[in-house]
Structure 1
Amino acid sequence: MARKIGSRYTAHQILGRGSAGTVWLGDGPEGPVAIKMLREDLAADQELVGRFVQERTALLSLDHPNVVGVRDLVVDGNDLALVMDLVRGTDLRTRLDRERRLAPEAAVAIVADVADGLAAAHAAGIVHRDVKPENVLLDMQGPLGPGGSHPALLTDFGVAKLVDSPRRTRATKVIGTPDYLAPEIIEGLPPRAAVDIYALATVLYELLAGFTPFGGGHPGAVLRRHVTETVVPLPGIPDELWQLIVQCLAKAPASRLRASELAARLREQLPLLAGMPPLDVDEPEPEHTEEPEAAFPPSAPEAPRRGAVPLVPGSTPDSNRDTHTSMRVPGPDELAGGARGTARAPRASGAPRPGSARHRAAAARRRRIVLSTSAVALAAAIGVGGWLVVSGDDEPPSDGNPSVSATP
């Protein structure tokens, strides 16, 4: 059923739902558009509406081929909507779910596109704050790039910043998607452009490996790894590319590259990656230690796992990544309490997963072999060397026969 959005736009069909609202396929004076309707509780927040209006000029002025453009902001009664360009394609999460990991050339080309978009945003003073595969759209109607990649566009600029208003979240809260949060956000520092670089490097790692470098397990454990652990190398990629990833995942924001530098350096790597197949690594095993629930309590009852929704027709609601998970900022003692050193190491391809039937069977076989070997060794010790000669001094007894003692 059609729904009027302000006086200029009509929403026809729901494309999906996300943590901040619902995305509709609509049309306006200039043709098809994507309309992101914010949740009713957000639209009813007058302070939030005021923040959107204040940011309107900056959002509308962000014009770049690798950014999904915001065409209009509609404030009409209980409706608060962002009218955005409609991208004919899919989102990066959907492709990653389908393929598990990408060939290095395609992965690097996509991330270079996103870095170009971030460079334009940062130059305009806008920090995205929620860079992740769900917020990267692939234009299937655009020209193919290196490795057969489609042009990548970053969407949802400004939404994380606007929703995370001072009145809605105290300074002791962490707002973001845990897998992609920069350490300085977790430690309660204000997010600047470097947080987007950290998140984008995490996305690149995930495209190459099929999993994020610090993800897995309780959100509190994920946050602690970002602060205390170093990233595990990925086998099979050029050292120059790995050093780029390491630099952009540096704990210190000042050590990371700028977005424009990252885009240029990544494109320099493309000739070295031509024809390289996807990496052959498996996800690290989940940690079996229990994370104390009280250390990082959620701010609200747990909802179904949802994230941002791609602004494209025919897309399914996004996958299993939490969006804007709100948690208390961990204290220094809690962060220091985590395991230090390197993060979880990738598992060799084909190796059994701990806890799986294959892993238990292999462990049982190893135990049987050890027990059998021990039994044979014990029997040999009893049968061959079970009698030990014992003498109280260097001379034999007076009868000339050595005294003996049986030892078990």
Structure 2
Amino acid sequence: MARKIGSRYTANQILGRGSAGTVWLGEGPEGPVAVKLLREDLASDQELVGRFVQERTALLGLEHPHIVTVRDLVVDGNDLALVMDLVRGTDLRTRLERERRLAPEAAVAIVADVADALAAAHAAGVVHRDVKPENVLLDMQGPLGPGGAHPALLTDFGVAKLIDSPKRTRATKIIGTPDYLAPEIVEGLPPRAAVDIYALATVLYELLAGFTPFGGGHPGAVLRRHVTETVVPLPGIPEELWQLLVQCLAKAPASRLRASELAARLREQLPILAGMPPLDVDEPDLSEDPEEEPAPASPAGEAPVRRRGAVSLVPGARPDSNRDTHTSMRVPAPDELAGGAHGTARAPRATGAPRPGSARHRAAVRRRRITLGVAGVVLAAAAGVGAWWASADGDDGAPRPAHSTSAP
């Protein structure tokens, strides 16, 4: 059912639902638009409405070929909406779920586009704060780039900042998506441009490997890994590309590249990556984490759905129709962060082998111990029977002769 959004726009069809609101296909004076209508309870928050109006100038001023342009911000009664350009295509999460992992050339080309978008935003003083595949749109009508990649556009600027008001999150809460949160956010420091670089490097790792470097399991465990663990190398990629990833995933924000530097360095890698197939990487078993929720059942013949732990961006929100990725949770205390396992997030191991210390690993150790124990009992019993046979008297009272297995 169509509905009016302010005096200039009409929302005709729902394109998707998220924890902060609903995205509609709409119509405006200049043609089709995408309208992100925030939830009614958010629109009734006067503090949030005030922040919404304050951000208007900054968001409307963000114009770049790789940014989904915000055309208007509407405040009308209970309606609070961002009116954006309509991108004909899909999001990067959908492509990643379909292909599992991308060829390095395409992955790097897409991330370079997003780095260009971040460079423009950071130059304007805007930090995205929620860079992830769901917020990267692929323009299917645009020209194909290196590796057959469609142009990538970054969307949802300002949403995390709007929601992250003192009233809603207080100083002990964090806003973001667990898999992509920079360590300084986990430690309670204010978000600056470097948090977007860390998140984008995480996205690149995920496009190459098929999983994020610190994801999997309970959200608290994911946050702890960001602070305490180092990233596992990806086999088969050029050393310079790997060093770029390591630098942008550095725990210290000052050690990371700026967005413009990252974009330029990534594009330098494209000729080397031409024609390289997707990496053959052993995906970690998320069921190894004792705090991981079991994967939901899937139709026969299909792989189980892997969902990383997350809670809603705002209290009381319904789960996203596509993926529950936002989190708003307590900042862990320093002793909690220090209490996690140090070292490498996922140590390389043979395909199918359990991770040391995991539930599967402990179960395997217990099975081996039980097997060895039973074998020991059987051997002891056999030895006792053999001794009895050698020493027992025969029916005539004479000692029974010992048997020999040697050749005559």
**Equivalence for 2:160:** 160
**Equivalence for 2:124:** 124
CA distance in 2, matches of 1:82, 1:277: 39
What SS does the corresponding residue of 2:82 show, helix, strand or coil? strand
Give CA deviations for 1:161-189 in whole Å, capped at 9, x if unaligned. 11101222101111111000000001110
Check 1:228–1:302 CA distance in 2 against 1; reply closer, same or farther (3 A cut).
farther
- Number of equivalent positions: 367
Give CA deviations for 1:68-119 in whole Å, capped at 9, x if unaligned. 0000011111101100000000000000111111011100000000000000
Structural mapping, 1:4-403, within 5 Å: 4-286=4-286, 287-290=288-291, 305-306=319-320, 317-319=321-323, 321-323=324-326, 325-345=327-347, 348-349=350-351, 351=352
CA distance in 1, matches of 2:366, 2:275: 39
CA distance in 2, matches of 1:70, 1:301: 26
Give CA deviations for 1:43-71 in whole Å, capped at 9, x if unaligned. 11111111111111111110000000000
Check 1:363–1:289 CA distance in 2 against 1; reply closer, same or farther (3 A cut).
closer
What SS does the corresponding residue of 2:48 show, helix, strand or coil? helix
Check 1:189–1:365 CA distance in 2 against 1; reply closer, same or farther (3 A cut).
closer
Contact 2:33 2:86 in 1 (8 A): yes
What SS does the corresponding residue of 1:162 show, helix, strand or coil? helix
Contact 1:109 1:145 in 2 (8 A): yes
Where structure 1 has 5 or more consecutive residues not aligned to the other structure, the ranges are: 307-316, 384-408
Give CA deviations for 1:208-256 in whole Å, capped at 9, x if unaligned. 0111100111111000000000101011111100000000000000000
CA distance in 2, matches of 1:69, 1:32: 13
CA distance in 1, matches of 2:131, 2:50: 24
CA distance in 1, matches of 2:9, 2:116: 30
Contact 1:66 1:116 in 2 (8 A): yes
Which residue type is aligned with residue 336 of structure 1?
Answer: A
**Cα drift, residue 378 of structure 1:** 11
Where structure 2 has 5 or more consecutive residues not aligned to the other structure, the ranges are: 293-309, 387-408
Check 1:336–1:290 CA distance in 2 against 1; reply closer, same or farther (3 A cut).
same
Which residue type is aligned with residue 246 of structure 1?
Answer: V
**Cα drift, residue 285 of structure 1:** 3.0
**Equivalence for 1:402:** none
**Cα drift, residue 305 of structure 1:** 4.2
Which residue type is aligned with residue 161 of structure 1?
Answer: K
RCO higher in structure (CA 8 A, sep ≥6): 1
CA distance in 2, matches of 1:328, 1:226: 15
Check 1:212–1:369 CA distance in 2 against 1; reply closer, same or farther (3 A cut).
same
Give CA deviations for 1:272-314 in whole Å, capped at 9, x if unaligned. 11111111112223344459xxxx99998786642xxxxxxxx
Give CA deviations for 1:387-406 in whole Å, capped at 9, x if unaligned. xxxxxxxxxxxxxxxxxxxx
Contact 1:281 1:347 in 2 (8 A): no
CA distance in 2, matches of 1:95, 1:299: 23
**Cα drift, residue 362 of structure 1:** 12
Report the identity percentage: 82
What SS does the corresponding residue of 1:67 show, helix, strand or coil? coil
What SS does the corresponding residue of 1:281 show, helix, strand or coil? coil
What SS does the corresponding residue of 1:263 show, helix, strand or coil? helix
Contact 1:297 1:328 in 2 (8 A): no
What is the TM-score with the length of structure 1 in the denominator?
0.82
